[in-house]
Structure 1
Amino acid sequence: MTESSYTVAGMTCGHCATFVTEEIERIAGVTAVTVDVDSGRVSVTSDEGLDTEDVRAAVEEAGYELTHANRSARDDRTPAATERDHRGDPHAGPGERLP
């Protein structure tokens, strides 16, 4: 799962949030959208990373402007799976066992 956050300008009410949410939910792979009208922050959870231009197009279709994108991957894998991925990696984090 990947979680990304965006700043959207022009939203003033719950209806605005609904329009933005509906358009972003149409993007393939999106699993959840949360909108905070007061801050303009939109958080999107998706199966994989999203193309910012797809999000921008969805926001513009809703009638608003995407002003900032901050993508932040969240790793939902188990610690054991993460550990396997870092075997032999000289940059493995603390507590990760290396062979």
Structure 2
Amino acid sequence: MAEPPPTTIPLWTRVVADPGFRDALIDDPLRALAGEPGVTASAEQVLQLEQMELGERERFVKGVVLEVHMRGAQSRFGRFGPDGRVGGPPPPGAAG
């Protein structure tokens, strides 16, 4: 019986799913990726992360995670209004 192919995980999937990997990637992208051989990232992604200052990289990575979670929530529950309520703002004249 043949061995199954090795499992590979795209970079951003792992970043969203694993807070420990996310923190490691923010601290030192090359070390984080070297420690996780199953994570796939393009040379351009790695270079982009490496060229960022720590604070910029943290904002970028956490922004990606926030965007993924927001899109998932919006696909399940509908859009969010400016006040944070699910489904958008209340209809005109409704008690808030």
The two structures have a TM-score, normalised by structure 2, of 0.31
The structure, 1 or 2, with the larger RCO (C-alpha pairs under 8 Å, 6+ apart) is 1
The two structures have a TM-score, normalised by structure 1, of 0.30
Higher CA-based Rg: 2
Q: Per residue, is there more helix in 1 or in 2?
A: 2
Q: Per residue, is there more strand in 1 or in 2?
A: 1
